[in-house]
């Protein structure tokens, strides 16, 4: 249980609450959560409810939180978090389009993709330099050279860059060359990686684990937030399932759910979520209709030549046709907040 103190609560009133909790052996711990002074209590409900904390003058409210995270929880942070990335605001209304190839393959490929997505209205450029591949014999990315290409091309077309760090040893280079660190689905519970990424202060795009619950996902976000880095962006990208007709099952109900449970921005990645380019536009439209703060889409100038995830890449013309639909849907949905 958490006792939220009034903003200007005098120290005498704070002491009264702490004293009452100590006498009742509730192990009170005074902490600051999102700038608010809060007393965390341990013990069963029958023990904590025995003290009428709401009746103390210094107390604003009492929060009974079952979730094992609190920095990520909506309860202590009513307003949507907005993550600002070089002038682009992610969350809190509006629509963020992140687009680009699955992997950086060479300068020409990346430049063609970047120019096309920029022209069609993308806000950020994506592209992997370190690629997590199921088989070690598949194309695993250009590494540092890929990061340098991302930085060069991003600067030239005027788009901030999002790219994945798979390992703590890659973080310094990713921070040097990119504006947002992506944590991939396979690493969602790599706790040392989450903490190292968090400590950089860089925005973190946190993919949901491919077989993770919402609680596990928000706990992963908590690891980052707990480093003092509040710039976390959630991204649903589909879950493994028994049916192999699609690559993953995109969980769109998690969008309104995560937005209820948490104040963090929620994006959707229908490219990995379906694995099939012909399904991507419909699911991107559905994601925005469900209240997503944006989408992440794989776009390749020539999907038939892509070295990874060829089957799910949109052509530039397909992305250009989709972008205005997404903007129109966002306007309808955001104009009627009761729908979310
Ligand atoms: C990616 O975005 O290229 C990627 C590998 O994503 P995920 O971790 O969701 O599979
Ligand atoms: Mn991919």
Cα(303) to centroid(ligand 2), Å: 12
Cα(26) to centroid(ligand 2), Å: 48
* CATH number of the CATH domain containing 225: 3.20.20.70
Residue 277 belongs to what domain range? 83-332
Cα(68) to centroid(ligand 1), Å: 26
Same structural domain, 6 and 90? no
Same structural domain, 151 and 277? yes
Same structural domain, 323 and 184? yes
Does residue 59 lie in a domain region? yes
Does residue 288 lie in a domain region? yes
As a whole number of angstroms, the distance between CA 329 and CA 336 comes to 11
Q: What atom in ligand 1 is closest to the CA of residue 309?
A: 3
| Ligand 1 binding pocket mutation candidate from 138, 207, 240 (most atoms within 8 A of CB) | 207
As a whole number of angstroms, the distance between CA 233 and CA 126 comes to 14
Same structural domain, 119 and 17? no
Amino acid 44: pLDDT: 87
The residue nearest atom 10 of ligand 1, judged by CA position, is: 185
The residue nearest atom 6 of ligand 1, judged by CA position, is: 184
Give how many domains the chain has, as a whole number.
2
Does residue 161 lie in a domain region? yes
108: Cβ–Cβ under 8 A, 6 or more apart, which residues? Answer: none
Same structural domain, 119 and 53? no
As a whole number of angstroms, the distance between CA 300 and CA 304 comes to 9
Same structural domain, 273 and 209? yes
Question: What one-character DSSP code corresponds to residue 103?
Answer: B
Amino acid 340: pLDDT: 46
Same structural domain, 98 and 53? no
Ligand located closest to 277 CA: 2
The residue nearest atom 3 of ligand 1, judged by CA position, is: 102
The residue nearest atom 4 of ligand 1, judged by CA position, is: 184
pLDDT values of the chain reduced to their tens digit, one per residue, 340 residues: 999 999 999 999 999 999 999 999 999 999 999 989 999 999 888 899 999 999 999 999 999 988 999 999 999 999 999 999 999 999 999 999 999 999 999 999 999 999 999 999 999 999 999 999 999 999 999 999 999 999 999 999 999 999 999 999 999 999 999 999 999 999 999 999 999 999 999 999 999 999 999 999 999 999 999 999 999 999 999 999 999 999 999 999 999 999 999 999 999 999 999 999 999 999 999 999 999 999 999 999 999 999 999 999 999 999 999 999 999 999 999 886 554 4
Does residue 52 lie in a domain region? yes
Cα(31) to centroid(ligand 1), Å: 36
Same structural domain, 143 and 200? yes
Same structural domain, 190 and 125? yes
In 3D space, the residue among 130, 199, 209 whose CA is nearest the CA of residue 164 turns out to be 130
List pocket residues of ligand 1, CB cut-off 6 Å.
Answer: 102, 128, 132, 184-185, 207, 237, 269, 272
Cα(309) to centroid(ligand 2), Å: 5
Domain boundary among 11, 35, 63: 63
Same structural domain, 202 and 314? yes
Crossing angle of helices 214-225 and 254-261, in 10° steps, is 40
Same structural domain, 89 and 138? yes
Does residue 69 lie in a domain region? no
Question: What one-character DSSP code corresponds to residue 208?
Answer: P
As a whole number of angstroms, the distance between CA 151 and CA 339 comes to 39
Amino acid 198: pLDDT: 98
Q: What atom in ligand 1 is closest to the CA of residue 184?
A: 8
Ligand located closest to 313 CA: 2
Does residue 132 lie in a domain region? yes
Ligand located closest to 164 CA: 1
As a whole number of angstroms, the distance between CA 61 and CA 52 comes to 11
Does residue 25 lie in a domain region? yes
Same structural domain, 155 and 220? yes
Cα(339) to centroid(ligand 1), Å: 29
* CATH number of the CATH domain containing 47: 3.30.70
Does residue 338 lie in a domain region? no
As a whole number of angstroms, the distance between CA 133 and CA 57 comes to 57
As a whole number of angstroms, the distance between CA 93 and CA 293 comes to 7
- Torsion sign (Cα): 85, 87, 90, 95: negative
Cα(280) to centroid(ligand 1), Å: 15
| Ligand 1 binding pocket mutation candidate from 99, 217, 269 (most atoms within 8 A of CB) | 269
| Ligand 1 binding pocket mutation candidate from 133, 188, 237, 298 (most atoms within 8 A of CB) | 237
191: Cβ–Cβ under 8 A, 6 or more apart, which residues? Answer: 223
Domain boundary among 15, 30, 63: 63
């Amino acid at each position: 249980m958490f006792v939220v103190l009034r903003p200007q609560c005098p120290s005498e009133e704070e002491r009264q609450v702490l004293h009452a909790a100590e006498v009742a052996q509730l192990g009170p711990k005074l902490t600051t959560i999102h700038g608010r002074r809060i007393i965390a209590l341990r013990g069963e409900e029958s023990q904590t409810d025995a003290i009428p904390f709401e009746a103390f003058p210094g107390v604003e409210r009492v929060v009974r939180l079952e979730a094992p995270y609190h920095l990520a929880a909506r309860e202590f942070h009513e307003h949507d978090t907005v993550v600002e990335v070089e002038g682009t605001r992610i969350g809190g209304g509006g629509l963020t389009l992140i687009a680009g190839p699955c992997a950086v393959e060479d300068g020409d490929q990346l430049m063609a993709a970047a120019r096309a997505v920029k022209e069609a209205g993308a806000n950020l450029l994506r592209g992997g330099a370190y690629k997590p591949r199921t088989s070690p014999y598949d194309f695993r990315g250009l590494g540092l050279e890929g990061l340098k290409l991302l930085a060069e091309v991003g600067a030239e077309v005027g788009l901030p860059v999002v790219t994945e760090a798979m390992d703590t040893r890659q973080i310094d280079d990713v921070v040097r060359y990119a504006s947002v660190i992506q944590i991939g689905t396979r690493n969602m519970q790599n706790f040392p990686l989450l903490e190292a990424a968090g400590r950089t202060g860089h925005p973190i795009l946190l993919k949901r684990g491919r077989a993770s619950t919402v609680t596990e996902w928000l706990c992963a976000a908590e690891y980052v937030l707990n480093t003092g880095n509040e710039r976390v962006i959630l991204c649903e990208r589909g879950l493994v399932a028994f049916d192999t007709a699609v690559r993953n099952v995109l969980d769109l109900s998690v969008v309104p759910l995560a937005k209820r449970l948490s104040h963090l921005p929620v994006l959707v990645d229908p490219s990995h979520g379906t694995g099939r380019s012909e399904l991507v536009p419909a699911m991107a439209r559905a994601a925005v209709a469900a209240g997503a703060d944006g989408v992440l889409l794989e776009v390749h100038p020539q999907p038939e030549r892509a070295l990874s995830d060829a089957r799910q890449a949109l052509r530039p013309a397909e992305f250009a046709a989709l972008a205005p639909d997404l903007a129109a849907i966002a306007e309808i949905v955001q104009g009627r907040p009761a729908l979310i």
